[in-house]
Structure 1
Amino acid sequence: MTTQTRAETQRLGVETTGIEIIEESARTAKPSDLFWPWFAANISVFGISYAAFALQFGISFWQGVLVSVVGITVSFLLCGIIAIAGKRGSAPTMVLSRAAFGVSGQKVPGVISWLTSIGWETFLAITATLATATIFRELGWGGGTGTKIVAALVTAALIVVASVAGYHVIMRLQSWLTWITGVVTVLYIAMTFSHVKWSAVTALPSGSTQQVIGALVLVMTGFGLGWINIAADWSRYQRRDASGASIVWWNTIGGAIAPVILVLYGLLLAGSDKKLMDGISADPVGTLATILPTWVLVPFLIAAILALVSGAVLGIYSSGLTLLSLGVRIPRPSAAFIDGVILTIGTIWVVFFAQDFLGPFQSFLITLGVPLAAWAGIMIGDIWLRRRDYDEEALFDVRGRYGSWDWVSIGLMVLASVVGWGLVINLFADAASWNNWQGYLLGPLGLGGKDGSWAYANLGVLLALVIGLVGTLVLRRGTVRRQEEAA
């Protein structure tokens, strides 16, 4: 990008900074600023739908409460720890990951991160499109192919425009969306509370330990672990003297407070109505609208789409940065635009050609969740071991202190993924048959095989996280010390 083009782009309010280090003069954010993007991205009524996903594991209401509070809070706490790296190095998450994996080795988790971000944001766009069609049908305005096409294109356009604009526009946008979506979400709860039947909710039978763990893993991967690979992207503008504890706090509270409330309410709602619970599987947000009065459907639709767009914008912005960290040499706005085009194509394919929605999505979550959890464990361990800020120049130099490849971290990630995939199964063998190879360790380890009770616990995600974390703390302590002592 030429100097003249860059100046014109900046005049239009578009962020031109890519994966390079943020200048000290631009690092003006404070920890409390992190509340807005995380809160706005997670206050979507889609959070209510996760209660139905959790209850489908066969757990009771109180078990669902435990799973929701613990799973959501802990997963966003882990995001907060990753966010500390952004303050220490003022670079995107996947660039900071080079300190643990090597400048070239970072491309291994980078590809996983990019696929995860693209998949998540495509899913949010799909949800917005399906919700629009359902609500239009409820209003008697159609809801067929034409409606879906327009909804898909409008949703994708909103996501791409905000993502291309960049950090400063997104931060302002998120603060506005917080109030809009927050008000409508409160209105939704007030207008649907009469549908709650406490007797039906408390009558839900308790599930086994394995079922509770399975629901816990789903909640963790659906919330905090789904964002963990981009957590430092929003803290890289923090002042260098910002408190690490404050960054963790505001990241955690901003991300967790709305989902906890929404999922708890969703447990009451889905537990009261089996038909509602089943409908959420096919169309999460649209089904929730079917119990609203007609006059409130339009504001509900607008708020629901804006909330889903809010979450997707964070992901596409960060997936563009991840694409750049993989060595693609294009301006940041162009990278965000490319990922937006991929999102649009993916949305159209799923909405118009895929036969099942929830099955492939959950299978996708668990499959990519295993190596992502392994990466998160390694990254958290690396942050834990470090006492100094990153050598920012070395993050871009294969001859620097971080080297080209850190084979210990690469090996840990491979080991954790192989073990993790062996302890999860594809819950949707027909809809996502490409994942039926998983679960190969359930039999040899005496856990009952793919048909046993432990098969649905998805232990592999948690174990991958632990292997990455403990392995890093044990095996890379000396490496980190030598890196920090290097001239």
Structure 2
Amino acid sequence: MSTQTAPDEDRTLEAVRRRGVETTGIEIIEESERTARPRDLFWPWFAANVSVFGISYAAFVLGFGISFAQAAIVSVVGVIISFALCGVIAIAGKRGSAPTMILSRAAFGVTGQKVPGVVSWLVSIGWETFLAIMAVLATSTIFDRLGWGGGAGTKVVAAIVVAALIVAASVAGYHIIMRMQSVLTWITAAITILYVAMTVDHIDTAALADLPSGSAGATIGALVMVMTGFGLGWINIAADWSRYQSRDASGAAIAGWNTLGGALAPALLVCYGLAIAGSDEAVREGIGGDPIGTLATLLPTWVLVPFLLAAILSLVSGAVLGIYSSGLTLLSLGVRIPRPMAALIDGIILTLGTFYVVFVAQDFLGPFQSFLITLGVPLAAWAGVMIADIALRRRDYDEGALFDTSGRYGAWDWVSIGTMALASTLGWGLVVNTFTDAASWNNWQGFLLEPLGLGTWNAADGYWEGNWAYANLGVLLALSLSFAVTYLARRGTVARQEERA
């Protein structure tokens, strides 16, 4: 869908493009601009995920009370599967040359797509703000250790600098981000390798062997957390980076490069983090309050500056992808502003959120993880619907109909909306809020556990009892149920959509 502009406006847009700023919003990418190759997808996904935060994530995995071997298996499997699902969504970008939430209109209807669109926007805003917060806290901790002062002044400056970097890159858009990510990949990867070399002597194989094995429920719970924290956290933006792919590009290649780029670094880093966190109880406990800063305590002083650089760049890299896509999602909801302005608005929200958490909130990791699992359920339900819809289609999308409520995709697809609502409701009944004090607003979750005999609420001590209570089965249920229902119930609908002239 191309936009007609006046001659003066054309000249203005061309001047902006010459400066490298992407002016394309949610409209269809012109054929002449679809020059990307599948292997180009490796760089943004790898750069966004080759983060030392991946090392710290291991402490959360071990928090489920599982052994080193169990943790390593679920981490590798969870990372690969979750990014493979992103790869499937990325195929839609090549088929329709539009952002993920626009392409999702084929499954939910042009207007109905706003329902999952709101969820997607909230998830993206939450993730990018979280990454910015991590960068600010890491800066404060490391500056304090260096004796440069890590107090309020340092945090203010760090918050401004981090937010400025994220917003500037996301406002610039796709082309600059792709070039930036290819450079950041080498910088962050090199310093991450240096971190590994400097901390490998902290690994205690005897301590790792002593970690007790966990139950099947605990193991699945760790698997779900890894899937939600990695690939499923990106799945709602996967097609945003493949919409510039050539129409002749292989769908399998797009999915493969997307999966490799996203999964390679986290799979290795989380496993290394398991070895570090499993060897030192103090590291496991410290990561809960300041993941990056805790990892820095293992380093000699002279390495702290390059480590801080790598940490900030890797976190900024991930946040840039999130804020760029959250801006596109905002436009897909009907907000009529230029794409750079949408990214700027989300950047302002990110900045305010970062300042609030760093300077006001007493605890943020607890509420954030509760927020993540809460939105992870409907996001998984949306993903199931979208993946099934992609699997059912044999043709490229009718790009004009994605913007026309009277077109072949219609205004509302009540089957998809109903499926997402049902799968989300059942899913929420099978997840629990592990931060009942810090995020009491989520204590209503888990309402199906006792009726199904999967857990019992201990009101006196404030926690759930039972091997399956903390398995977060609701995420897997939402994903699989929505996929199965969509694949069976919408076969005829998709076939009619593709046959319609």
Q: Same fold (TM over 0.5)?
A: yes
- Of 271, 278, 285, the residue aligned with 1:264 is 271
Does 2:68 match 1:61?
yes
- Of 238, 249, 260, the residue aligned with 2:256 is 249
Aligned residues: 487
Rounded Cα–Cα distance in structure 2 between residues aligned with 1:345 and 1:287? 25
Shift of residue 27, structure 1, vs aligned partner: 0.2
Rounded Cα–Cα distance in structure 2 between residues aligned with 1:27 and 1:71? 32
Amino acid at match of 1:452: E
Rounded Cα–Cα distance in structure 2 between residues aligned with 1:358 and 1:332? 31
- Of 119, 123, 128, the residue aligned with 2:135 is 128
Does 2:232 match 1:232?
no
- Of 488, 491, 496, the residue aligned with 1:474 is 488
Shift of residue 11, structure 1, vs aligned partner: 2.2
Amino acid at match of 1:260: A
**Aligned residue in 2 for 1:452:** 465
**Aligned residue in 2 for 1:485:** 499
Residue 457 of structure 1 aligns to a residue whose secondary structure is coil
Cα contact 1:98–1:395 (8 A) shared by 2 = yes
Rounded Cα–Cα distance in structure 1 between residues aligned with 2:134 and 2:10? 40
- Of 363, 379, 383, the residue aligned with 2:386 is 379
Cα contact 1:439–1:449 (8 A) shared by 2 = no
Rounded Cα–Cα distance in structure 2 between residues aligned with 1:244 and 1:178? 24
**Aligned residue in 2 for 1:279:** 286
Q: Deviations over 1:218-250 (max 9, x none)?
A: 100000000000000000000001000000100
Rounded Cα–Cα distance in structure 1 between residues aligned with 2:164 and 2:125? 15
Shift of residue 446, structure 1, vs aligned partner: 1.6
Rounded Cα–Cα distance in structure 2 between residues aligned with 1:129 and 1:480? 47
Residue 386 of structure 2 aligns to a residue whose secondary structure is helix
Alignment RMSD (CA, Å): 0.8
**Aligned residue in 2 for 1:150:** 157
**Aligned residue in 2 for 1:76:** 83
Shift of residue 307, structure 1, vs aligned partner: 0.4
Shift of residue 319, structure 1, vs aligned partner: 0.3
**Aligned residue in 1 for 2:217:** 210
**Aligned residue in 1 for 2:330:** 323
Cα contact 1:17–1:332 (8 A) shared by 2 = yes
Rounded Cα–Cα distance in structure 2 between residues aligned with 1:39 and 1:447? 38
TM-score between both structures, scaled by the size of structure 1: 0.99
Amino acid at match of 1:403: G
Rounded Cα–Cα distance in structure 2 between residues aligned with 1:6 and 1:317? 19
Residue 435 of structure 2 aligns to a residue whose secondary structure is coil
Shift of residue 7, structure 1, vs aligned partner: 2.3
Residue 282 of structure 1 aligns to a residue whose secondary structure is coil
Amino acid at match of 2:160: L
Q: Deviations over 1:54-86 (max 9, x none)?
A: 001101000001111110000000000000000
Amino acid at match of 1:61: F
Rounded Cα–Cα distance in structure 2 between residues aligned with 1:65 and 1:11? 47
Q: Deviations over 1:344-390 (max 9, x none)?
A: 00000011111112211110110000000000000000000000000
Shift of residue 478, structure 1, vs aligned partner: 0.3
TM-score between both structures, scaled by the size of structure 2: 0.96
Shift of residue 468, structure 1, vs aligned partner: 0.9
Shift of residue 448, structure 1, vs aligned partner: 2.1
Amino acid at match of 2:116: P
**Aligned residue in 2 for 1:197:** 204
**Aligned residue in 2 for 1:461:** 475
**Aligned residue in 2 for 1:107:** 114
Rounded Cα–Cα distance in structure 1 between residues aligned with 2:10 and 2:482? 43
Structure 2 gaps, min length 5: 458-463
Shift of residue 449, structure 1, vs aligned partner: 3.1
**Aligned residue in 1 for 2:175:** 168
Amino acid at match of 2:186: W
**Aligned residue in 1 for 2:461:** none
Rounded Cα–Cα distance in structure 2 between residues aligned with 1:16 and 1:352? 35
Amino acid at match of 1:464: A
Cα contact 1:416–1:464 (8 A) shared by 2 = yes
Shift of residue 3, structure 1, vs aligned partner: 2.8
Rounded Cα–Cα distance in structure 2 between residues aligned with 1:448 and 1:22? 50
Give me the identity figure in percent.
Answer: 75
Shift of residue 4, structure 1, vs aligned partner: 3.7
Relative to structure 2, which stretch is displaced further, 416-425 or 5-14? 5-14
